[in-house]
């Protein structure tokens, strides 16, 4: 599976105490969950806006995973950056199987409208 950064994502088996396999959280699970997060000034979710640059999952104790997300914002001076980051972290921690979540706001490469998904372009009327 190719990730949002273009790299191949890695999956690994997780097991419950009884030895039965439990599906690991995938990058797609993370991206689906983040589609419920919005920049309050733009009526499009942060995934379709192209704000998510990378999703990294790693094994954690108790058959859980840790997740870190590299994301950007549409502008460096965005006054909502703290609220959006907290919203993303909170949503990630609600995913079953996630132990800890970290959100890294990055500015390189800078966000450009070319990162908008076709769905976002349609919603914003820029087709």
Q: What is the pLDDT of residue 107?
A: 94
Domains of the chain and CATH, by start: 14-110 (3.30.300.130)
Model confidence pLDDT, tens digit, residues 36-68: 999 888 999 999 999 999 999 999 998 999 999
> How many CB atoms neighbour CB 55 within 10 A?
23
d(CA 35, CA 24): 19
d(CA 119, CA 64): 32
Please state the φ and ψ torsions of residue 42, each to the nearest 5 degrees. Answer: -130, 125
Model confidence pLDDT, tens digit, residues 104-118: 999 999 999 999 999
- Close Cβ partners of 50 (under 8 Å, ≥ 6 residues apart): 111, 114, 115, 116, 117, 120
The pTM of this model reads: 0.81
Nearest one of 94, 84, 96, 11 to 52, comparing CA atoms: 84
| Coil, helix or strand at residue 104 | strand
């Amino acid at each position: 599976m190719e990730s949002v950064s273009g790299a191949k994502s890695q999956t690994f088996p997780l097991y419950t105490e009884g030895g039965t396999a439990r599906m690991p959280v995938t990058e797609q699970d993370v991206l689906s969950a983040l589609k419920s997060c919005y920049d309050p000034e733009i009526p499009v979710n942060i995934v379709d806006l192209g704000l998510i640059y990378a999703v990294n999952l790693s094994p954690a104790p108790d058959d859980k995973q840790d997740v870190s997300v590299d994301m950007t914002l549409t502008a460096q001076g965005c006054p909502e950056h703290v609220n959006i980051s907290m919203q993303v972290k909170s949503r990630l921690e609600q995913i079953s199987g996630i132990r800890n979540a970290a959100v890294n706001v990055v500015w390189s490469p800078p966000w450009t409208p070319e990162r908008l998904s076709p769905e976002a372009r349609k919603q914003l009327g820029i087709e």
